């Protein structure tokens, strides 16, 4: 039965029509399998100047993961329907629950009648069917399965509505001012279910901070139910774009073709979000253009002092010196500017005891062509206690009777 459902699912996806179980009405969300020309994924001859970029997506943004710096934006704050890109927040809540210990990937999730009735992209869960959370998560991430998303939402919060409330709370915590969720799937074209390209980029950045999710987001093809049901990733960049790490596609007739795409090369990861595209090819072309521009034009430079930092004398301390410590600063700069970065350090000449570990003892400034790019605190590596009067007296007696050693 499940094999037949899998075959039917593929055929329905190929036609772009998936019917909602039990309703007889055409579901409003499914990923139509459009032919996307190979040239869409070719990242040669991409301009290294933002002014020369041709991004057909009506709304788009490009950011770097480490710094969060915005490299390109186009109508990035326009509130639009996100379709299944909604699931970026759904997946984020699942991942955070796993990392906090509230959930385990081995937990059993049971599909309710409500979850089983979901249309659109699905894995045809039946009422009462059980899967480990890891399998449900794979269905959500790879196949954009609405039935699995609702099943997990109910497992976590009791109902989809309660889960959507959690989604909105998390959106507020992340400062997503243009976002309001009414469900966990993006399935229905609810006029109140809106977000922006900028907000999606922020939630996507938060998601990929949990590196293990990429074990799921980079899957191209896989199976569930012991190999009886096949999954194929709707994000074609995963297969055809070098360094792709995810993340989530979406489509409804009114939302258009949407995508949050992430990719990493040489230790630098970028996030490109495009919304309301006219076709699947347009969304992949737009995202690819943005990612390739970033990889071609920018580098994540590591700035640190040019010399080893000397220890700082501590007055009346039980230890005579404290060692300054610093974390190298990562700065996103144009590749052509990387060699021009300079650092300068200012340290306290001496410090009075007591000195706390982590206390600010200096500043490192990074400049480029005279412009200050970063000012970073240099901290005390260890604590130094202050000498007591008895310690001072003992030291004086030692000097008096034994001389300086």
Catalytic annotation present for 144: yes
- Residue 252 CA to residue 258 CA, distance in Å, equals 9
**62 and 290 Cβ atoms separated by less than 8 Å:** yes
Convert 151-188 to b/e letters by CB count within 10 Å (16 or more is b). bbbbbbbeebeebbebbeebbeebebebbebbbbbbbb
Phi, psi angle pair for 131, to nearest 5°: -145, 150
**153 and 86 Cβ atoms separated by less than 8 Å:** no
3-state SS class at 297: helix
CA-atom Rg of the chain in angstroms: 27
At residue 68's C-alpha, the angle toward residues 269 and 246, to 5°, is: 35
- Dihedral angle sign, alpha carbons of residues 384, 387, 388, 391: positive
Which residues have a Cβ under 8 Å from the Cβ of 342 and sit 6 or more positions away? 366, 367, 368
Kindly report whether the peptide bond that precedes residue 160 is cis, defined as omega within 30 degrees of 0.
Answer: no
Question: Within 13 Å and on the Cβ side, how many CA atoms surround 272?
Answer: 24
Choosing from 65, 74, 87, 138, which is the catalytic residue? Answer: 87
- Residue 79 CA to residue 81 CA, distance in Å, equals 7
Q: What is the DSSP string of 131-178?
A: EEHHHHHHHHHHH--HHHHHHHHHHHHSSHHHHHHHHHHHHHHTT-TT
- Residue 287 CA to residue 291 CA, distance in Å, equals 6
Catalytic annotation present for 306: no
3-state secondary structure 320-336: CEECEECCCEEEEEECC
Q: Are strands 324-325 and 371-380 parallel, antiparallel or unpaired?
A: antiparallel
Q: Length of the chain in residues, anyone? A: 405
Alpha helices in 258-381 (DSSP H): 280-297
Catalytic annotation present for 344: no
Choosing from 30, 59, 84, 204, which is the catalytic residue? Answer: 84
Q: Which residues are catalytic?
A: 84, 87, 144
């Amino acid at each position: 039965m499940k094999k037949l459902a899998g075959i039917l699912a593929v055929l329905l996806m190929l036609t772009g029509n998936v019917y909602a179980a039990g309703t007889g009405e055409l579901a409003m969300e499914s990923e139509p399998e459009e032919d996307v020309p190979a040239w869409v994924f070719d990242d040669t001859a991409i301009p290294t100047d933002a002014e020369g970029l041709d991004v057909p997506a009506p709304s788009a943004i490009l950011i770097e993961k480490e710094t969060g710096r915005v490299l390109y934006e186009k109508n990035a704050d326009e509130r639009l329907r996100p379709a299944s890109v909604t699931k970026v927040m759904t997946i984020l809540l699942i991942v955070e629950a796993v990392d906090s210990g509230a959930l385990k990937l081995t937990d059993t999730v049971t599909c309710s009648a409500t979850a089983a009735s979901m249309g659109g992209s699905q894995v045809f869960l039946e009422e009462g069917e059980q899967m480990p959370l890891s399998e449900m998560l794979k269905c959500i991430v790879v196949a954009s399965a609405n039935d699995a998303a609702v099943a997990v939402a109910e497992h976590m919060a009791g109902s989809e509505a309660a889960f959507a409330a959690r989604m909105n709370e998390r959106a507020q915590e992340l400062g997503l001012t243009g976002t309001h969720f009414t469900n966990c799937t993006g399935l229905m074209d609810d006029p109140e279910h809106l977000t922006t390209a900028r907000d999606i980029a922020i939630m996507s950045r938060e998601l990929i901070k949990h590196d293990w999710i990429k074990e799921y987001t980079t899957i191209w093809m896989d199976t569930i139910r012991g190999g009886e049901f096949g999954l194929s990733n709707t994000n074609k960049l995963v297969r055809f774009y070098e360094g792709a790490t995810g993340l989530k596609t979406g489509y409804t007739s009114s939302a258009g073709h949407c995508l949050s795409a992430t990719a990493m090369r040489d230790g630098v990861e970028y996030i490109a979000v495009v919304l309301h595209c006219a076709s699947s090819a347009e969304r992949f072309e737009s995202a690819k253009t943005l990612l390739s521009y970033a990889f071609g034009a920018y580098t994540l430079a590591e700035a640190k002092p040019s010399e080893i930092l000397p220890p700082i004398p501590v007055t009346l301390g039980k230890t005579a010196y404290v060692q300054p410590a610093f974390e190298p600063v990562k700065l996103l700069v144009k590749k052509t500017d990387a060699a021009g970065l300079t650092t300068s350090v200012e340290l306290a000449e001496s410090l009075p005891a007591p000195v706390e570990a982590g206390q600010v003892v200096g500043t490192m400034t990074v400049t480029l062509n005279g412009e200050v790019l970063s000012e970073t605190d240099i901290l005390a590596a260890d604590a130094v206690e202050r000498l007591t009067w008895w310690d001072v007296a003992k030291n004086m007696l030692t000097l008096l009777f034994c001389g300086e050693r």
